[in-house]
Homo-oligomer: A and B are copies of this chain.
Amino acid sequence: MTIQAEETKTITLIEALGQALDDALSSDPDVFLLGEDIIDPAGGAFGLTRGLSTKYGRERVRETPISEQAIIGAGIGAAMLGAKPIAEIMIADFYAVCLDQVANHAAKLRYMSGGRTTVPLTIRGMLSGGLNFAAQHSQSVEAWLLHTPGLKVAMPSTPADAKGLLTTAIHDPDPVILLEPVALYTVTGPVPVGRHEVPVGQADVKRVGADVTVVTYGPCVPMALAAAEELAGEISVEVVDLRWLAPWDKETVLESVSKTGRAVVMHQAVECCGFGAEISSVISENLWSVLEGPVLRVAGANTPVPYATELEQAHMPGTNDLVKAIRSTGEWKSRG
């Protein structure tokens, strides 16, 4: 765990994100926010930025038209001249309307210019799912971004990580995308009161175990912990919360699987070409000789996300699916 023995306060994940923004605005004049509906009195679709435009003014907390390409572009350009802009893409599905600015520009400008230009931009916003928001407001699109070299991508599962990841993102010299699981916005946890960072690429072992490694991130972390708890006594489950998806902490994952010999990867995104496939491949490529069986994947079904609860539950991966997958690894005969 990276939370130091320092002063903490128990707050929600959404409060932790707001705090990171507040701290950044107050401590660094180069930081500013831009996005749709982020100013007071509403302060964003879920009130995450509430209070900030009042405190820092509408010059630094900038409401925009519904123009995601223009939002990201404005962030890119300002970042190239030394600002540390934090652009909001309200819901992750909307990366589809601005992927050109994100993937063809923010991600590539440093490289295309031979390193002469840089884009220290942060893009953040909700990752939805599980809220009956249907096919265009529930997608987990991290794989689109992870298949785009030049981007850094993070997803928190706890309030402390949320604050730490966002703070690190803001000050990172490269474009960082923070996907915030809205399903966890109201989860509470202890958060360091002072400045708190989660270094780029650093995973967190959220539960130590000996028999099976679950590699996951974001909204599936609580499910993984619940599954581990359910199986306690029967199977000892280690839960690795990646936190950073790009670059990701291969070392920690490989170390864990070296120990357990069994791995299950879980994410909310649909399975086909999801990040789980990458993780699974890397584990297999690196730990072939220690694996007791194939790396298993627990993920969203390969369908759009449906609306009605019964359907969405069927689509989404859940704790039960994970428990089943973990149990199934126990049936493998050891090779040795």
Chain A positions 79-133 with a Cβ under 8 Å from a chain B Cβ: 93-97, 99-100, 103-104, 107-108, 111-112
Q: Is A288 an interface residue (CB 8 A)?
A: yes
Among B108, B284, B293, B302, point to the contact of A294 (Cβ < 8 A): B284
Q: Which stretch (A2-10, A24-32, A144-152, A228-236) binds chain B? A: A144-152
Chain A residues touching B, range? 35 or more
Copies in the complex: 2
Distance, CA A136 to CA B102, complexed state (A)? 12
Q: Is A134 an interface residue (CB 8 A)?
A: yes
Q: Is A303 an interface residue (CB 8 A)?
A: yes
Chain A positions 268-303 with a Cβ under 8 Å from a chain B Cβ: 269-270, 272-278, 280-281, 284-285, 288, 293-297, 302-303
Query: Distance in Å from the Cβ of A66 to the closest Cβ of chain B?
Result: 13
A276 touches B272 (CB 8 A): no
| A147-B144, A272-B146 as given contacts; A281 in contact with B285, CB under 8 Å | no
Among B108, B273, B297, point to the contact of A285 (Cβ < 8 A): B297
Cβ of A288: which chain B residues have Cβ within 8 Å of it?
293-294
Q: Which residue of B lies closest to A110 (CB)?
A: B304
Query: Distance in Å from the Cβ of A76 to the closest Cβ of chain B?
Result: 14
Among B144, B275, B284, point to the contact of A284 (Cβ < 8 A): B284
B149 touches A112 (CB 8 A): no
Distance, CA A20 to CA B288, complexed state (A)? 45
Interface secondary structure of A, over-half rule = mixed
| A104-B136, A136-B104 as given contacts; A273 in contact with B304, CB under 8 Å | no
Chain A positions 286-336 with a Cβ under 8 Å from a chain B Cβ: 288, 293-297, 302-304, 306, 335
Determine which residue in A141, A149, A297 has the highest number of CB atoms from chain B within 10 A of its CB, and name it: A149
Q: Which residue of B lies closest to A107 (CB)?
A: B304
Determine which residue in A269, A285, A294 has the highest number of CB atoms from chain B within 10 A of its CB, and name it: A294
By Cβ-Cβ distance, the 10 closest A-B pairs, closest first, are: A277-B277, A96-B100, A147-B273, A284-B294, A111-B304, A96-B99, A280-B281, A277-B281, A288-B294, A277-B278
